[in-house]
A and B are shown apart, each in its own frame.
Chain A
Amino acid sequence: MAATFFGEVVKAPCRAGTEDEEEEDERKKETPEDREVRRQLARKREVQLLRRQTDTSLEVSLLEKYSCSKFIIAIGGNAVAFLSSFVMNSGVWEEVGCAKLWNEWCRTTDSAHLSPSEAFCVFYHQKCNPSVFLCQCSCYVAEDQQYQWLEKVFGSCPRKNMQITILTCRHVTDYKTSECTGSLPSPFLKALKTQNFRGRVCCSLLEQPNIVHDLPAAVLSYCQVWKIPAVLYLCYTDVMKLDLITVEAFKPILSSRSLKGLVKNIPQSTEILKKLMTANEIQSNIYT
């Protein structure tokens, strides 16, 4: 407990998170109805992988069903826009699955009929080379769902003969530096790679004491532990909503081995990106 200047006694905040005893106390006070509500909530929060065309769940994890040599995962609106404009518009991609999940931030209930502005998580493979996979994930995957997502996508038998590339954004105020945040030239790109990644990295590595959380961290941790070559490209930006300059900050990655061969016409892709931005601005107009 701590006393404030006003003389009130309040519970002091703790960097260590919820204490174990609080969880134990909650459990002891639970009625059968509480337990049922908690079970139903856990079921609602389960991550499911399904084929939208048939509205059926995948019987096994995605990478147990399909062989994969290259997997590019875009997490967040700007990373998704980058892959849409530069990679998906340069080839023919077939949808192979969609992750259906519900949490306080991502309330998509009907994954079969998603509008462009809704958050989603869809998996594709390239028609001419089906071992090349893409994931476009613009929904937030909560901390209790991240390991489930990994299991549904990667399964229980990690494969080392594939390369993973993850693209995501973070707000520039999360970047720890001895300089003042306001003087940083955002957006800028940083990278983290697993021990088994041997390729060239397209920007400087993320220095300590900076760390990464959430789904990108879950995927990279999985790759590090199971010795899968993987690289995470992190764009620090001061604009978290869809933004042309932020998306274009990912451009150095176009010369990497992961994306080489997947991108055909960069000027055309840039035009497609500008149209995507314009379309998004119209949708976000409160008068339409």
Chain B
Amino acid sequence: MFVPCGDSVPDLTGFTLLMPAVSVGNVGQLAIDLIISTLNMPKIGYFYTDCLIPMVGNNPYATAEENSTELSTNTEVYSSPSRKLVALQLRSIFIKHKSKSFCEKLLSWVKSSCFAAVIVLSSSHSYHRNDLQLRSSSKDIQMAVLLKFVSEGDNIPDALGLVEYLNEWLQIIKPHSDDPTASSLRWKIPSSWRLLFGNGFPPALF
């Protein structure tokens, strides 16, 4: 269920919901991180269920000492009212046999919040194409899935590619110039992406 940060539930009628699918390379989740970080979207609430593995940490989008100590959980909701955008971020994987329950709870929230549309950012194995993901088609909810074929590894470039593709459609930030290398500079990398590939190594090793 949605639990607001403040005392009242914000009105999200007509907003577009962006959310990730927890998928190969975590590309959808990385892309949502980029959007929340770049647009500096404030947190408006939590989507609290028993469906995802619990995790906590300090603010993954911290930019200074002052905002680095806000606690974050596994499923949080952010919003940009000026762009009529809401972003749902999922930070852990589903508990076994709970993904269907999560979908049902999510769809119920989508309907009750009167979102205009839902956009799912996802990824799939390069060798695998499958069109079974679209469960909402029978529930009269406008939904689109943006999917990138990837392999596991350093998926940051894939996340950048996916948000660029989304941006061409939604124009979230200023469209890119002709220079392709400029695209990665316009998206703010969250501070929590540090040390993705492990700690430092002992200098004595060399």
Chain A residues with a Cβ under 8 A of chain B: 1-2, 12-18, 20-21, 23, 143-144, 146-147, 175-183, 192-195, 205-215, 217-218, 220-221, 224-226, 232
Contact = CB atoms under 8 A, between A and B. Distances in A.
Contacts, number: 134
Contact of B71 (A177, A179, A180, A193): A193
B101 to A, nearest CB: 11
Contacts of B92: 213
Interface string B186-206: 000001111110111111000
A226 B3 contact: yes
A193 B59 CA distance: 12
Nearest to A220: B56
A177 B201 CA distance: 10
A161 B193 CA distance: 36
B204 to A, nearest CB: 9
A221 B92 CA distance: 13
Contact of B46 (A2, A175, A217, A225): A225
A166 B190 CA distance: 28
A280 B13 CA distance: 60
A270 to B, nearest CB: 31
A15 B68 contact: no
A14 B26 CA distance: 9
A29 to B, nearest CB: 15
Contacts of B201: 180
Interface string B51-72: 0011111111010000011110
Contact of B202 (A143, A182, A207, A208): A182
19 contacts: A2-B151, A23-B99, A146-B54, A176-B198, A180-B200, A180-B203, A192-B58, A207-B68, A208-B58, A208-B59, A208-B194, A209-B192, A209-B194, A213-B55, A217-B74, A221-B54, A224-B56, A225-B3, A226-B3
Interface of B: 3, 22-26, 46, 48, 50, 53-60, 62, 68-71, 73-74, 92-97, 99-100, 125, 127, 130, 132-133, 151-152, 191-196, 198-203
B26 to A, nearest CB: 6
B199 A210 contact: no
B56 A212 contact: yes
A214 B69 CA distance: 21
A217 B56 contact: yes
Contacts of A213: 53-55, 92
A21 B130 contact: yes
A65 B25 CA distance: 45
Contacts of B191: 208-209
Contacts of B56: 192, 211-212, 217, 220-221, 224, 232
